[in-house]
Amino acid sequence: MVNIYVSSVIESSAASVWARIRDFNGLPQWHPLIADSRIENGQASDRVGCIRHFHTKDGGMIREQLLALSDYDFSCVYSILESPMGVSNYVATIKLTPITDGDRCFAEWSAEFNCAPGRERELTDSIGQGVFQTGFDALKQRSAR
């Protein structure tokens, strides 16, 4: 099993960052790699069990299912159902923690998954830096506006 963990400090309150990422269908509004997204079967985007179907800007199609959502903990857990990445048993968590010294938050994005032997390093880099850190950098830029 491969484990990835990325963390960052965002110069905005946990509540305001959470307002951006809480919407399970809202990736295109804050993540620069995402072209479009829709929730399947007309379900609410904050309903545990809903499935988002989205496309990356390079044309990839991904389906993910919301497994948990906590406004109290500023966290969500989701799994990948389909993707071109070659991962299985993929479960990820995004969590925000308020930083009491200033109007900031500590952001964590982690995932664990299985993949073909020999692809661990490639996927760790592309997901950890290419997806998670890119998302945090975009949230930082939007918070600075």
pLDDT in tens, 102-118: 889 999 999 999 999 99
pLDDT digits (tens, 9 = 90+) for 25-63: 999 999 999 999 999 999 999 999 999 999 999 999 999
Structure tokens of 65?
Answer: 């299912």
CA torsion angle for 39, 123, 31, 26 (degrees, to 10)? 20
The CATH number of 2-144, from 3.30.530.20, 3.40.710.10, 3.30.43.10, 1.10.3720.10, is 3.30.530.20
Q: What is the model's pLDDT at position 35?
A: 95
Tell me the pTM.
Answer: 0.94
User: What is the distance between the alpha carbons of residues 120 and 116, in angstroms, rounded to a whole number?
Assistant: 8
pLDDT digits (tens, 9 = 90+) for 77-100: 999 999 999 999 999 999 999 999
